[in-house]
Amino acid sequence: MTRPVSALLPMQYSDEVAAAKARGAPIVALESTIITHGMPYPGNLNMARSVERIIREEGAVPATIAVIDGILHIGLDDALLEALAQTEGAMKLSRADLAFAIAERRTGATTVAATMIGAARAGIKVFATGGIGGVHRKAEETFDISADLDELSRTGVIVVCAGAKAILDIPKTLEVLETRGVPVVTYDSPNFPAFWSRDSGLKSPLTLNSPAAIANFQKVRDQLGVDGGMLIANPVPEADEIEREEMEIYIARALDNAERDEIAGKAVTPYLLDSLFRLTDGRSLKTNIALVENNARLAAEIAVALAD
């Protein structure tokens, strides 16, 4: 059962999230694109359930965000989660088309940008994802830059990820984030991670070593009246990583395949991830799941620290 929030915006909290808000409990937002576009059923459902379980174990409440038949859901009960995991043809929603999906009563999964908008609308301060979008390679020719970066500069949500996806131009992505005034903090490492790899070869702009320190940083930003989000880069566990030098070989091949097949726009990232899955014999997906679970754990710890 879900509960309506507003007669103006068709938005519903799950019972679990509604109860958490009522008692002031820490909540962690989760995106839904990884469920509909990241991996096939039933692996996607198992992953989503695992991530939600980890957040609960750490003392917070998970809130998977998605648009279903024109309703913005903040938290999904298990039946809705399973139905979404089996949905075919769901839209991939960002800032530009989130309102469109709601207005046209469509079903869509939220990317980083759209999840941040939904989380902020619901008063949720922390969001766990795999990796953010950013500046694509050859962006000087294609102008392909993810809306995630602008969203981070304007929407006040802490985003916990494993860095920018390694298929991107990470140096340019960091430059754009710096220009937009987005704090980039790597957790417990001086080096900025590269999604599947713990080290991108770039130094992190900032480093903090505890969830409490991250929460305190955000509290001071609030006191100063600083708008916008914060990016927390959480390196994948060492046992699960694919080292950068090896991964770059696979990425180069996948990018060549995408250029050959004339893949563009929103289709690029799913295409590349699928190519990498095949090129790595499934290792990239295993690492992806491990880093999402790792990010969920840290996000829950930050949410608990903020609530304290």
Partners of residue 67 on adjacent β-strands: 72, 108
Q: Is 165 one of the annotated active-site residues of the chain?
A: yes
Residue 204 labeled ligand binder: no
Q: Is 52 one of the annotated active-site residues of the chain?
A: no
* Spatial separation of the C-alpha atoms in residues 10 and 243, rounded to whole Å: 44
* Spatial separation of the C-alpha atoms in residues 232 and 52, rounded to whole Å: 19
* Spatial separation of the C-alpha atoms in residues 167 and 49, rounded to whole Å: 27
282: phi > 0 → left, psi -120 to 50 → alpha, else beta; which?
Answer: left
First to last CA, the chain: 29
* Spatial separation of the C-alpha atoms in residues 196 and 174, rounded to whole Å: 17
Helix 43-57, helix 78-85: angle, nearest 10: 150
Q: How many CA within 13 A on the CB side of residue 117?
A: 21
Partners of residue 213 on adjacent β-strands: none
What are the helix (H) ranges across the chain?
15-23, 33-36, 43-57, 78-85, 98-103, 112-121, 139-142, 147-154, 170-179, 211-224, 244-260, 268-279, 283-307
Residue 226 labeled ligand binder: no
Pairing, β 11-14 against β 2-4: antiparallel
Pairing, β 230-233 against β 158-161: parallel
Residue 268 labeled ligand binder: no
* Spatial separation of the C-alpha atoms in residues 279 and 134, rounded to whole Å: 23
**Residue of 16, 21, 31, 241 marked active site:** 31
Residue 14 labeled ligand binder: no
What letter would DSSP give residue 279?
H
**Residue of 52, 125, 151, 165 marked active site:** 165
Phi, psi of 249, deg, nearest 5 = -65, -45
Residue 144 labeled ligand binder: yes
Residue 284 labeled ligand binder: no
Q: Annotated binding residues for Mn(2+), as ranges?
A: 144
Q: Annotated binding residues, as ranges?
A: 92, 112, 144, 146-148
Q: Annotated binding residues for substrate, as ranges?
A: 92, 112, 146-148
Catalytic residue positions?
31, 165
